Amino acid sequence: MGKESTSELQTEMRFLRQLLIEERNARTVLETRVAALESGLQAVEKTAKPNEVAPTIQLDTRALDEFKDNMTRLTTDMKLDIAANRLKIKELKNAEGRDIVAEMSRNSSDMFSKINLLTNYLTLSMSDSEWQNKFFNQSIMEVKNDLKAFDDRFRRVETDVQSYSGQLMTNSMAVNNSLEKMSTLEQNIGNRISEVGSKVGFYAYSTSAEPSWAGSAPILFENVVNNIGGGLNESSSIFTAPVDGLYVFIWTTTTYEGHSFNSYIVLNGQDVKYLYINAGTKGGYETGSTSALLDLVRGDRVWIRGEDGGRLDYPNIVFTGFKI
């Protein structure tokens, strides 16, 4: 669940609050219509004579006609609101939100049915005005009771939405905190990977009595002790820089009595620095070491080569390097 999901939940909460406002307005309109219904009853009482039995009683006063028109418009509007609510319910992704809106839609449908029934009865012709008044009184009481029940249900729904809103805010904060923790964790992992990936180093040596080389070909250091970062090719003894940076290279060579040896560190085929040793005629061995600091870019190749005519001997033949 990410930011996108939190945004969708917040959008649904705004939608639910808007529906609550619309339901509150509809309830106010219904209360007004009930008052108009009472006025219609009073008009009936004024126009009807007690105990008079007539074929028909036509309620054609201006007030009742206007009431009838208003009720017709109200029921039409409620039909549209109910249909719109059903469409909105389908759009909601949250199950709890769908239940809340569905309840509001059912409340509106029930109230619409009651009002529609009473409106139809207003236009009927009845022979007994006393029975008619009794019917209207009973109908008005039923509508008032329905309005009260509707109001109670509405307030319960409103409380549920407020509770849901608070829960949503809590969940939203928890999601945001989780996202921040995940972001921090990803950054730490990335830093760690970068840190580990930037460590480069190797150490290799040769145990051959006379290690082989030919011209500018690399001297082979066949024993690789470590190769952090995988830069050293263990078959060719050529180091390839895995990342950009400053690198230190150190190499050691040994020759024996009556011989000398000249070696070079090579960068991309170009000699960079040399090391010369000479054992002379005193007997024994001569060993020498040197180093080079090279600024490499990824893909640069470095190796050690010997010069033709020299003699190289075990035991001190070493090549090491590392990134600083």
What's the pLDDT at 180?
85
Q: Clarify whether residues 266 and 117 are in a common domain.
A: no
Domain-embedded: residue 305: yes
Same domain assignment for residues 149 and 242: no
> Is 90 exceeded by the pLDDT of residue 19?
no
DSSP state of 178: H
* Domain identity same for 157 and 256: no
Which residues share a beta bridge with 264? 274, 305
Classify residue 185: in a domain, yes or no: no
Pairing of strands 318-323, 245-256: antiparallel
43 and 130 within one domain? yes
Q: What is the pLDDT of residue 53?
A: 41
Domain coverage including residue 299: 201-323
Domain count, the chain: 2
- Regarding whether 308 and 164 lie in a shared domain, the answer is no
- 71 and 18 inside one domain: yes
Return the minimum-mean-pLDDT range out of 17-31, 83-97, 150-164, 302-316: 83-97
Q: Which residue has the higher pLDDT, 245 or 177?
A: 245
Q: What are phi and psi of 226, to 5 degrees?
A: -145, 155
**Does the pLDDT of residue 57 top 50, yes or no?**
no
- Quick check: 159 pLDDT over 90? no
pLDDT band at 2 (very low <50, low <70, confident <90, very high): low
Contacts of 264 (CB under 8 A, 6+ apart): 271, 272, 273, 274, 275, 304, 305, 306, 307
Average pLDDT over residues 151-156: 76
Residue 80 has pLDDT above 50, yes or no: yes
CATH code at 134?
1.20.120
Query: Same domain for 215 and 310?
Result: yes
Closest CA to 56 of 128, 164, 113, 119: 128
- Distance separating alpha carbons of residues 289 and 268, to the nearest angstrom: 22
